[in-house]
């Protein structure tokens, strides 16, 4: 909370941004945890090709490039998935066109 001395100190800015960043990090972590738990059918806390395809289909994204995207890897870890998921939709996984 900013003091009512009519000034904002560097420390106050830092505190504000740290609290805000921690809040959003916690929200994002909860979301990723929820997504991985929902789509991880084999319980290994990684998403394999089939689990990733299910996720993409439910998001109305084209899943035809999953094999190319994973480059022979069998799974995405939750961290890898979260980093990648921020880029969706993209050229490799565009929104599916309605027929």
The alpha carbon of 97 is separated from its chain's Cα centroid by a whole number of angstroms, namely 23
Q: Cα–Cα distances in Å, from 45 out to 19, 38, 76, 86?
A: 29, 10, 9, 19
Spell out the residues 6+ positions from residue 1 whose beta carbon is closer than 8 angstroms to its own.
none
Check residue 4 and give its pLDDT: 67
Encode pLDDT of 29-57 as tens digits: 888 888 889 999 999 988 899 999 999 99
Q: What is the pTM of this model?
A: 0.69
Domain 10-85, CATH number (from 1.10.10.10, 1.10.238.10, 1.20.58.220, 3.40.50.10210): 1.10.238.10
Per-block mean pLDDT, blocks of 10 residues, the chain (99 long): 73 92 88 90 91 93 90 80 89 85
Burial class (CB in 10 A: 0-12, 13-18, 19+), 20: exposed
CA gap 83, 34 in Å, rounded: 15
Q: Look at residue 99 in the predicted model and tell me its pLDDT.
A: 63
pLDDT at 3: 55
**pLDDT of the residue at 18:** 93
E-assigned strand segments in the chain: 47-48, 75-76
């Amino acid at each position: 909370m900013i003091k009512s001395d009519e000034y904002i100190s560097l420390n106050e800015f830092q505190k504000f941004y740290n609290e805000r960043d921690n809040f959003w990090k916690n929200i994002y972590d909860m979301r990723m945890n929820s997504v991985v738990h929902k789509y991880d059918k084999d319980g290994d806390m990684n998403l394999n090709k089939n689990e990733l395809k299910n996720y993409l289909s439910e998001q109305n994204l084209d899943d035809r490039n999953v094999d190319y995207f994973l480059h022979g890897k069998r799974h995405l870890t939750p961290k890898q998935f979260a980093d990648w998921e921020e880029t969706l939709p993209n050229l490799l996984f565009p929104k599916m066109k309605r027929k």
